[in-house]
Amino acid sequence: MKLSENFTLEELTKSKEAEDLGIENVPNNGETKALLELTLNVLQPLRTLINKPIRINSGFRCEQVNKAVGGVDTSQHRKGEAADIVTDDLETTFEIIRNQLMFDQLIWEFGKWIHVSFRSGRNRKEVLEAYKENGKTHYRPKV
């Protein structure tokens, strides 16, 4: 199912963990609607602005997939509201999202990927960076 010019539902639900465990990572109607909102309000506008491919590392995660990757129960991935993305220029991509797009959370994840989420009508524009301390991931505001 095509969500926009450059994104499909399949790429936003694809999961190596689901494949490895034989789990169907299928969103319900509400989760699919949230993925559509994320795509139309963040991912496709970003793709248009940078005019380069965006790789989705993780989009929607059903409960079992979320547990398999160590995600928290309240993860926005569970609701279809978040995607972890990679581009060939993460720093520029991060700044474009921060300065030009509406989002709920924007997280710099160790310089390896960007987590971005969108909640229709309830976006905080919270900008964070992830860091490790004593083997555990923590978050702090990113300036």
How do residues 23-36 score in pLDDT, each as one tens digit? 999 999 999 999 99
What was the pLDDT predicted at 116? 98
Q: Scanning the structure block, which residue is given the tokens 């795509």?
A: 39
3-state DSSP of 89-101: CHHHHHHHHHHHC
pTM of the model: 0.94
Question: CATH number, domain at 101?
Answer: 3.30.1380.10
Q: What is the tally of structural domains in the chain?
A: 1
How far is residue 138's CA from residue 118's CA, in Å, rounded to a whole number? 21
What is the maximum alpha-carbon separation in the chain? 43
In a domain, 4, yes or no: no
With a cut of 90, say whether residue 106 has pLDDT above it: yes
Structural domain range at position 74? 9-141
Classify residue 133: in a domain, yes or no.
yes
Task: From residue 119, give the alpha-carbon distance in Å to each of 39, 42, 91, 116.
Answer: 11, 11, 23, 10
In this prediction, residue 38 carries a pLDDT of: 98
Can you give the pLDDT at residue 123? 97
Reported as a single tens digit per residue, the pLDDT across 11-24 is: 999 999 999 999 99
